[in-house]
Structure 1
Amino acid sequence: MMPDTRGLSAVRKWGQRAPWWLVLLLGVACAVLGAVIVLQPFTSLSVLRLFIVIVLAVSGVADLASACRSRSARWTVAVGVLWLVTALVAAVFPGLTLRVLALVVGLALVAGGMARLVGAVRGRGDERAAHVLGALASVVFGCLALAWPDVTLLVVAVVFGARTFVFGCARIVEAVRAAHEGGRRENEGVGGGRGWLHGWPRTAAMAASLVVALALLALSAALHRASPSPTAFYTRPASVPATAGALLRSEPFTRAVPASAQAWKILYTTTRDDGVPAVASGIVLVSRSAPAGPRPVIAWAHGTTGVASSCAPSLLQKPFEAGALPALDQIVANGWVLVATDYTGLGTAGPHPYLVGQGEARSVLDAVRAARHLATVHLSDQTAVWGHSQGGHAALWTGQLQPTYASDVPLAGVAALAPASDLTGLVSNLNTVPGGSIFASYIVTAYSQTYPDVSFNRLIRPEAQAQVRGHASRCLAEPEVFVSVVSSLLADKPIFATDPATGASGARLRENTPTGQIQAPLLIAQGENDALVLPAVQQGFVQQACKRGDTIDYRTFPGRDHVGVVAPDSALIPLLVTWTQDRFAGKPAPDTCS
């Protein structure tokens, strides 16, 4: 149904009487607002929300003011009214969740674009081209806003910022022309004139908007396409042995494997934190020139890659770099067998036990058991556990759990590198770490999926829930994480509604802090510039472990941050290799506790 012609006539008469200075003021306001948003998009969610409301309202008024100057005036009115209604909704309901606001603004962009597209049919020459290009850009931008709800405000802000800047400049030109000509061509407008200045600048601007929209669309498609998906290999078989550590299937693995080594991907049985049977995947790697006979094992517990099933290192493009595995070449050179679990819930069906101690440790120990069933690899009983960050937490829990859960997998040593050893301390520190909300999202997602007494909705503010779910759906080592980084930069408030270190979540965090004694010798490495796992917190953990009677070689590394401590040029690497060689050789372990 076409808009009411009587209403349109009234708007047209008002527009014809609108003084040029009013159009100029609206144009300047739009141009300034648009420039501010485009030049400073990373301000805060609340400020961006306010800017969007203002821009929507000013754009709506400007559309109505210039409706009389367009051949497709009734559709310009319709779009102007749409912007005003959207601004009203966003202003009257400031508590709208990000997901709802994304829906409202995204649909408004799509609907506004479609209205302009229909209206372009009645336009002439330059006006029609500008409307078609602008309409298509609006539709594409609206679809992008709907596709990325946790960064919708950034997308919308930049989109509206650019659109509003161009729109404002067009209104300024229109007002200047009207003032210069004394109103003689008041009814022609920028898009309806005959000269180049009457139409082509706006057409070129709309063409540029469409190019940007299509480029972002291509980027969005590329980001989605780059994310891996679990294959049939990771699917749980119909019949699964009740015994943990059973090898279910294996196949050769070649991605990023050194030329001097060969590897296999494995699927095996394990158990979750609550003892429920589960399956997990992993990688087994060994030197091609390793001597015959049983070979010592490095059980690798990888660092944070994410909590979505697609974040398994065996699925990622760089499976060993993704979890920050150090000294891969040295592992191969020593003829050791690398057994690298993905943990449950990564690759296989979830949930993933992110910083859930027993679930991580069982995945590590059962991977070693399963690797023993590979016909092409001969493992000895000597096993050393290495782990970094989340994997350091897993390594500590593996050492703590091994005597009671897997006495058949004796440990020669446990190397925990920048381990998450104090979970309440870690969570309390995340608000001060750039991108800390990403790690917090992983913790909340894993704990709410693992423990029925930990409520996602009670822990996370309603406005942040879309952001947290977005973080949890992306892998830390894949290109899509850029979207999470952008979203975290926009956050002007913590994601938590309540302190996660209290209540049920706090109790679960303390429950999963490794406070039990570890019989195997320990190497704990800590970067002195680590902003994620604080050196003071690590020192406190080591002191308590010394009091429990653990044998600990505690080393700190000046100038090294959380990931830098395991970098190839870190002084830790030769120390780690030598320390492991000595453990396999049965030499007395150094103890810095005494």
Structure 2
Amino acid sequence: MRTLGAGAGAEDRGRVPTVVGASAALAAVALGAALILLPLALPVIVTLAGVGLVVVGLATVVGADGTGRHPTSARIAVGVALTAAGIVVLVWRTASIRTLLWVMVAALVVHGIHTLVAALRPGTDGRVAGVFSGAAAIVLGLLCVAWPVLAIELVRYAVGAWLVFVGIRGLVGLVWRGGHGSPPTAPGSGSGPAPGRRRGRTVVAGVAFVVAAGLAVGSAFLLHGDGRPAPNAFYTPVEPLPGEPGVLLRAETLGAGVPDGADGWRILYTTTDPDGTVVAASGTVVAPSGRGTDALPMLSIAHGTTGIVPRCAPSLSPTPFVDGAAAALEQMVTVHGWAGVTSDYVGLGTSGPHQYLVGQAEARNVLDASRAAAQIDGLELSADTVVWGHSQGGHGALWSGQIAGDYAPELTIRGVVGMAPATDLFALAEATKDEVAGKTVSAYIASSWNEVYPQLDLAGHLNPGTAHGVGEIADLCFNEQDVIAALLRGSQIPEQVFPDAVLDGDLGATLRENSPTGPWPAPVLVAQGLADPLVKPSMQQSWVDGRCAAGEPIDYRTYPGLDHMGLVAADSPLTPQLVEWTLARWSGQAPTPTC
């Protein structure tokens, strides 16, 4: 009786890990499926992932994780670590998402290493499958490091897939053991899983590893950017600089990217920072090839966001005139005989910092480029100009018109055009703070303004876990292949870049100071696509309403169905309207404000 009782007790004890293992395996599959299939908010994703870590940890402790070995001290330690990681994720709700991500990454890597070590022990069944699944877990963990908020989505699907895989492996292991909790026998013993089942497990693990490796290779390619070269010696001025702004330092002929029927130049000239310091800036000029000796009408163009480091200058691009309303510019030059002058802005091409979305700086750069372009040999330019700008350039164009009378009185502004302009910078930052494009723009502001406005100490006031992403984006341009990497890096930032307390404080006040408010000395056209995800139509409408209420006569035109870039595309209805409106300003026709 005693022997029978002892045997029964052993049998009951053997059933405990079986019951726990089956429950844990089913729970892992359910949690993984929920992560993969359900539309979930970020906090719910983190919660389910934390529960999943606890489930797998418990299964590992009791030896029911499908690896086919009884609990050992090492296995128990790994299980406890996984369980603890899951509990940290669940309890530490005030930590940044990136911090919690690191906890989960560590858990994935530890579990992967444990699986690899277990697979390489003598007598282990399914050694190849173990190597593949362990390596896949490690690679997935490292991928999570490489991608932060986008990595949260990777955590969602990768951890979901991992939970499903571990759960299925646990269930299969229990079935193979016949439900008695005994491990599979060593190879060659005459029992254990059938070769077909063993091959199936190996194939599943191999596929998981191939997918993880493919994601790693693709990530490296997408996040690398285009590796464009740094500016050459043309962009380094000879010191000392002349003491006044708007002086042409040098010019050279452009070949690539110049429209047919036009000539192009790259220029280096002097301008001033808002504090009055004379510095060098670069830019481009385009004019019709068949020009006579008469002074040409001039377009002063402020370009959109291209980045904040020197190699992002439009004049360094093989297509230097494609920014903004490129089709309209080509028509103005080759059909109507105008010249176009575009500043790169200080810090793009020349040494920085680039004063991104700093209104006074952009405007001075634009106006001084127009002054300097008139000094190119063989090019006669009128002192009258119409100012264009798209996006960041719309912000710069509005500021150029706003300060021209005081800063460059020899230039006569005939009109100002802002296309999807960044007008109310605080409202723009507030509306897009949780979006990928908004985080990318915020990263440029954080890096640029940390140097331009050191008193704000933005580097010390970023949301926890965002500094790495901000630094990566700051070194990427916002055009060509770099824009893909920049937006993907923006998707990695796990939270809004600036805490609300910072936005509502001195940073918010500085954003408002750099928002253009007028008055303007000439007619103003503001064009806005109603499907623009970056410069929100509601924000633009509020800004226009405010300027109208202040007595500024603005011609406000909206374009249903057009997004941020579609507004300035060649086939946009704005293109012919922009040409017509600009020619009307030159001929002295009365403006047609909508307020």
Q: Into which bin does the TM-score normalised by the smaller protein fall?
A: 0.7 to 0.9
Deviations 1:496-535 (CA, angstroms, capped at 9, x unpaired): 4335664322332332222332223333333455561435
Q: Aligned equivalents of 2:430 and 2:330: distance in 1? A: 37
In the alignment, is residue 35 of structure 1 matched against residue 37 of structure 2?
A: no
Match of 1:59 among 47, 56, 60: 56
Q: 2:325 touches 2:568 (CA, 8 Å); kept in 1?
A: yes
Match of 1:576 among 575, 578, 585: 578
Q: Aligned equivalents of 1:399 and 1:137: distance in 2? A: 58
Aligned residues: 571
In the alignment, is residue 520 of structure 1 matched against residue 519 of structure 2?
A: no
Partner of 2:8: none
Partner of 2:241: 241
Q: 1:529 touches 1:561 (CA, 8 Å); kept in 2?
A: yes
Deviations 1:55-77 (CA, angstroms, capped at 9, x unpaired): 22222222332377249967655
SS in 2 for 1:343: coil
In the alignment, is residue 537 of structure 1 matched against residue 542 of structure 2?
A: yes
Q: Aligned equivalents of 1:408 and 1:51: distance in 2? A: 65
Q: Aligned equivalents of 1:174 and 1:111: distance in 2? A: 21
Partner of 2:328: 327
Partner of 1:480: 485
Distance change >3 Å, CA 147–CA 89, structure 1 → 2: same
In the alignment, is residue 46 of structure 1 matched against residue 19 of structure 2?
A: no
Q: Aligned equivalents of 2:319 and 2:186: distance in 1? A: 59
In the alignment, is residue 80 of structure 1 matched against residue 74 of structure 2?
A: no
Mind listing any 5+ residue stretches in structure 2 that lack a counterpart?
Answer: 1-10
Distance change >3 Å, CA 500–CA 384, structure 1 → 2: farther
Q: Aligned equivalents of 1:115 and 1:252: distance in 2? A: 63
| CA shift for structure 1 position 272 | 2.6
Deviations 1:340-371 (CA, angstroms, capped at 9, x unpaired): 22322344444333322101111212222343
In the alignment, is residue 337 of structure 1 matched against residue 322 of structure 2?
A: no
Q: Aligned equivalents of 2:83 and 2:23: distance in 1? A: 18
Matches within 5 A, 1:406-417: 406-417=408-419
Measured on the aligned residues, the alpha-carbon RMSD in Å equals: 3.8
Q: Aligned equivalents of 1:186 and 1:14: distance in 2? A: 19
Distance change >3 Å, CA 364–CA 213, structure 1 → 2: same
Paired amino acid for 2:368: D
In the alignment, is residue 270 of structure 1 matched against residue 275 of structure 2?
A: no
Match of 2:362 among 351, 360, 363: 360
Percentage of identical aligned residues: 36
SS in 2 for 1:279: strand
| CA shift for structure 1 position 150 | 4.3
SS in 2 for 1:480: helix
Matches within 5 A, 1:284-433: 284-291=285-292, 294-307=295-308, 311-314=312-315, 320-321=321-322, 323=324, 325=326, 327-333=328-334, 334-375=336-377, 377-430=379-432
Q: 1:302 touches 1:390 (CA, 8 Å); kept in 2?
A: yes
Matches within 5 A, 1:76-225: 76-77=75-76, 79-123=78-122, 127-179=126-178, 186=184, 193-225=192-224
Distance change >3 Å, CA 236–CA 400, structure 1 → 2: same
Q: Aligned equivalents of 1:198 and 1:18: distance in 2? A: 25
SS in 1 for 2:344: strand
| CA shift for structure 1 position 391 | 1.4
Q: Aligned equivalents of 1:183 and 1:528: distance in 2? A: 64
| CA shift for structure 1 position 241 | 0.9
Q: Aligned equivalents of 1:205 and 1:171: distance in 2? A: 14
Q: Identify which range, 358-367 or 92-101, moves more after superposition.
A: 92-101
Q: 2:440 touches 2:486 (CA, 8 Å); kept in 1?
A: no
Partner of 1:567: 569
Q: Aligned equivalents of 1:142 and 1:349: distance in 2? A: 39
| CA shift for structure 1 position 554 | 4.0
Q: Aligned equivalents of 1:536 and 1:212: distance in 2? A: 47
Distance change >3 Å, CA 396–CA 161, structure 1 → 2: same
Q: 2:125 touches 2:184 (CA, 8 Å); kept in 1?
A: no
| CA shift for structure 1 position 52 | 2.6
**TM-score, normalised with respect to structure 1:** 0.82
**TM-score, normalised with respect to structure 2:** 0.82
Q: 1:304 touches 1:476 (CA, 8 Å); kept in 2?
A: yes
Q: 2:270 touches 2:368 (CA, 8 Å); kept in 1?
A: yes
Deviations 1:97-154 (CA, angstroms, capped at 9, x unpaired): 3444444444444454444444433255862212222233233323322233343333
Paired amino acid for 1:199: R
